[in-house]
Amino acid sequence: MTTINESQTAKGYTPAALVPAAFGRKRTLDGIVIHHWGVTGQRHDDVVKFFVSGPGTTSAHFVVSAGRIDCLVSPLDAAWHSGNALGNATTIGIECHPEATDADYATVAELVRFLRDEYGTLPLSPHRQWNATACPGIWDLPRIDRLANGSAAIAPQSAVKSQTSAPAKGSDKMLIISKAKGDPAIWIGDGISRRQIPDLKTLEDYRKLARWGVLTIYKGGETMDYPPAVLGAVVGGK
């Protein structure tokens, strides 16, 4: 079981609420774009560092190599990965180890399977479909599809750290937590990543995302179903 590390955030990305202004349409999740890091011999941590501390002109939702998954941009937000406005607004970008070993394939397929469980049967496309590039190199997308039909599971850090009980498989869900009792900051997550929400208007923009009808909201260790109208309620917790 591979854990998604979400301790770092890419410097450059577009929050979901700003996607219409930036890309001319709302943020939707319609597919997954497979990338590679380009030059062989690079280290996973150096690629993550580039997205987090580099110029901030490009980013990806995930960086993946054998046994390692880093989430740098929540799938709810738009990473700057495809070189195409439509691609950025509608897809999830996965940056893969260019050597494409068997272990790399296994971990990428595990992530694809997880994302499809969360967001529906998202098709795969190569980066070259969205922009003039050789990316994703030697990566074989039909092979990823075949492997993604397996049964291994991954554990996002936010789910491990913030939830005291797991959501029903396939349910729409949102985590609402705060750093401490009385803390006015609102945090939300989708089971993959989490974001601080500065005000209720921004929270409302997140609520309008597709597939968010009745949500399973985790708060203070409790698990209950609420209609969207309750979003923004005072939240306690550890």
Residue 200 confidence (pLDDT): 53
For the chain, domain boundaries:
2-156, 158-230
pLDDT in tens, the chain (238 residues): 689 999 999 999 999 999 999 999 999 999 999 999 988 999 999 999 999 999 999 999 999 999 999 999 999 999 999 998 999 999 999 999 999 999 999 999 999 999 999 999 999 999 999 989 999 999 999 999 999 987 555 555 543 223 223 333 333 334 444 333 444 445 554 433 444 555 555 555 544 443 333 334 333 333 334 334 334 333 333 2
Question: What strands, in cross-sheet order, belong to the sheet with 124-126?
Answer: 124-126, 31-36, 91-96, 62-65, 68-71, 2-5, 154-156
Residue 85 confidence (pLDDT): 92
Residue 2 confidence (pLDDT): 83
Contact assessment for residue 68 and residue 44, using Cβ atoms and an 8 Å cutoff: yes
Cα dist from 122 to 27, 47, 90, 155, 231, whole Å: 15, 25, 11, 20, 27
Contact assessment for residue 213 and residue 226, using Cβ atoms and an 8 Å cutoff: no
Residue 232 confidence (pLDDT): 37
The residue count for the chain: 238
How many Å apart are CA 77 and CA 14, to the nearest integer? 6
Residue 153 confidence (pLDDT): 56
Options 3.40.190.10, 3.40.80.10, 1.25.40.20, 3.40.50.720; CATH of 2-156: 3.40.80.10
